[in-house]
Copies of this chain bind each other. A is one copy, B any other.
Amino acid sequence: MLENIDGFVIDLDGTVYKGKDAIEGAMDTIAYLKSIGKRIAFLSNRGNISRKMCHDKLIGMGIDVEENEILLTSTVTANYLRENDENCQAWVLGEQGLRDELEIAGIKLADKPELADWLVITLHETLTYKELNEAFRAVRHGARIIATNEDKTFPGDGGDCIDVAGMIGAIEASTDQKVEVVIGKPSSLMAEAAFRAIGLPAERCIMIGDSLVSDIGLGKNAGMMTALVLTGSVNREAVEASNVTPDLIWDSLADLKRILESE
């Protein structure tokens, strides 16, 4: 079934870890993939952390990955701005990880909201009214809106939590301006970044994730085989009610190791 697959594009939140904890079997499966020479790209819609922060987190969970195997929307958003509006000034509604990635990409952070060409929105788990108001002011003074992703929820320690769609909704509803660019899955920008990193075409890759819209949607749009894991926000009932049909459905990433071992 997976005999032609050498590239594994794997979601993180809800697939490899949930909140602060690794999902059972994820560590073993990833180590096994590496031991048999498969290529991996971890593709996450998280835009609030830097690649380095994410790498530290995975290593801390005992998951042995390289920093350049991690593709976050923070990095891909920063690269998008560098390629499309190199001399712009950005204002961030989000966290330090995104600011780090913008600075690594050479994007100037505006000194005040009124000077920004772009408002860059990502998840912001320590959001305050003051920060929301600064973002609002950036847009009222002409900043265009780009978002790392537009997920509605992410699986946190205490259940589903409000995600970037909420931050976008707040700004759009109060300014009457719309987000112009969304980087995250299921956007093709993320798939292209994954294929570049892995160095294989779509037909030799599988997209594995817990979200029907973001992960399975991206995989299908990009021409990859798709596998849904049930360790995130979707259960079998939700899959049956949906019009998105993954090629494979696994209880968790642990199933992948069992399948590969038995092939």
| Chain A residues with a Cβ under 8 A of chain B | 124-129, 132-133, 136-137, 140, 152-153, 159-163, 165-176
Closest CB pairs A-B (n = 7):
A169-B173, A169-B169, A166-B174, A136-B162, A127-B129, A170-B170, A166-B170
Compute how far the CA of A224 lies from the CA of B126 in the bound complex, rounded to whole angstroms: 45
Q: How many copies does the complex hold?
A: 2
Within 8 Å CB of A128, what residues of B?
126-129
Tell me whether chain A's interface is mostly helix, strand or loop, or mixed. Answer: helix
Interface residue from B137, B152, B174 paired with A159 (Cβ < 8 Å): B137
Could you tell me if B162 and A170 are in contact, using CB atoms closer than 8 angstroms? yes
Within 8 Å CB of A173, what residues of B?
152, 165-166, 168-170, 172-173
Could you tell me if A172 and B174 are in contact, using CB atoms closer than 8 angstroms? no
**Within the complex, what minimum Cβ distance (angstroms) separates A136 from chain B?**
4
**Within the complex, what minimum Cβ distance (angstroms) separates A108 from chain B?**
24
Could you tell me if B174 and A169 are in contact, using CB atoms closer than 8 angstroms? yes
Within 8 Å CB of A152, what residues of B?
173-176
**Within the complex, what minimum Cβ distance (angstroms) separates A62 from chain B?**
29
Interface residue from B124, B171, B174 paired with A129 (Cβ < 8 Å): B124
Compute how far the CA of A124 lies from the CA of B153 in the bound complex, rounded to whole angstroms: 22
